[in-house]
Amino acid sequence: MLSAKPNSKTVILKPALTFITCTLLAVTLPAKATTYRVTNAKELQDAIGKVKAGDVIQLAAGTYKDKFVIKNKSGKADQPIQLTGPAGSSAAVLANSGGYGLYLDHANYWIIDGITINNSGKGIILDTSTNNVLQNLTVHDVDDEGIHFRAFSTDNVLKNSHIYNTGKKQAGFGEGVYIGSANSNWCTYTSCNPDKSDRNKVLTNSIGPNVRAEGIDIKEGSSDGLIQGNTFDGSGISGENYADSVIDVKGNNYAITGNTVNNHPTSSDKNLLDGFQIHQAYTGWGKNNKFSSNRFNLNTKGYGINVQSGLIGNIVCDNNSATNTTGGVANVALVHCQ
């Protein structure tokens, strides 16, 4: 026979167990994410100051003129902080005449999505910032470089973005994407050590026209990045400061694959020489890079891929192709790659 007494004990204990469980959950549950909807520069500055992991800053269409710095503020791998612009033809534009359009300084796990940077000294600069995603951006009409991963900025991704009209003030410093820093600047940014801005990925972007220096400049000290699926328009390159290729590789162990380079120069615009160049700017660098499945339509007298004499370990696969260039695919023997 069933007795009522045992059930009465269960009834008495159940609320206590429920209370304990709820107390534990209250300790472990993450704070609720906040969405900051902003419409002007002051609201954006305030939101940057307040955000925490998992939060979203949502920009309305319009132009935001100020110095925007994200410093010592990070999301988490499973709770990135998002800064987003509107989809469609309306744009949220950040502009900082003479300064950085957007500056990430010791800022990790951000998603920067859909915004435009123009009328600034530089586009987006990352210093000592890791695991960020920059996507669906437009960067144009800046004085110097468009995007710069610098000072040990690692494991970042730039994808699905358009960069053009860079170097308007200093053509020789108008790179589309700049990875690392030149050895002459290591004492400025990395305590005189090689700038190991490693494992950054540049994927499926449109770079050019009128990128006055290289479309992508990969500096000595940087390793193990991926440059894949980008389309370059080499017209408008300046030739200043040795800018005569759309990618200049001085780092090590990069995979550069599936990119397309087109060049349609005017009669006064014949500064592009090669599609890609590999150089040794510092002892031990410019090695062990692999080039595969890239396509070049150059209208130049150079090569698709030009490897500086004496560099070791660089592989140019026989699935690269080149048209309208006197030198052909490469100045080195092609390798059959699996």
pLDDT tens for each residue of 283-333: 999 999 999 999 999 999 999 999 999 999 999 999 999 999 999 999 999
Q: Is 209 inside any structural domain?
A: yes
Residue 130 located in a structural domain: no
Q: Is residue 83 part of a domain?
A: no
pLDDT at 24: 44
pLDDT at site 264: 85
Q: Note the residue count of the chain.
A: 338
pLDDT score at 338? 81
Handedness of CA 316, 318, 320, 324 (dihedral sign): positive
Rounded CA gap, 326 and 91, in Å? 42
336 — pLDDT class (breaks 50, 70, 90): very high
Q: What does the pLDDT look like over 182-204, one tens digit per residue? A: 999 999 999 999 999 999 999 99
User: Is residue 3 pLDDT above 50, yes or no?
Assistant: no
Domain hosting 270: range is 143-325
- For CA atoms 298, 302, 308, 312, give the dihedral sign: positive
Domain annotation covers residue 106: no
Cβ atoms of 216 and 179 closer than 8 Å:
yes
Q: Is the residue at 226 inside a domain? A: yes
The total of other beta-carbon atoms located within 10 Å of residue 102's CB is: 26
Question: Is residue 281 in some structural domain?
Answer: yes
Q: Residue 5 has what pLDDT?
A: 39
Question: In three state form, how does the secondary structure of 221-258 look?
Answer: CCECCEEECCEEECCCCCCHHHCCEEEEECCECCEEEC
Q: How confident is the model at residue 268 (pLDDT cuts 50, 70, 90)?
A: low
In this predicted model, what pLDDT tens digit does every residue of 100-153 receive, in sequence order?
999 999 999 999 999 999 999 999 999 999 999 999 999 999 999 999 999 999
The predicted pLDDT at position 235 comes to: 94
pLDDT at 244 > cutoff 90: yes
Residue 249 located in a structural domain? yes
The CATH number of whichever domain residue 317 belongs to comes to 2.160.20.10
Quick one: pLDDT at residue 13? 33
Q: Give mean pLDDT, residues 263-281.
A: 89
Examine the pLDDT at 81 and tell me if it is beyond 80: yes
Tell me: pLDDT of 8 over 60: no
User: What pLDDT is attached to residue 21?
Assistant: 44
Using one digit for the tens of pLDDT, what is the confidence trace for 21-63?
A: 444 444 555 678 999 999 999 999 999 999 999 999 999 999 9
Q: Say yes or no to pLDDT of 168 above 70.
A: yes
Sheet holding 110-113, edge to edge: 35-38, 56-59, 81-84, 110-113, 133-135, 157-159, 201-203, 226-228, 255-257, 290-292, 315-316
Average pLDDT over residues 173-184: 98
Confidence tier at 267 by pLDDT (50, 70, 90): low
Mean pLDDT of 198-221: 98
pLDDT of residue 269: 76
Asked if residue 251 is part of any domain, the answer here is: yes
Question: Domain count of the chain?
Answer: 1
Quick count: other Cβ atoms within 10 Å of Cβ 48? 20
What digits encode the pLDDT tens for the residues 9-23? 333 334 444 434 444
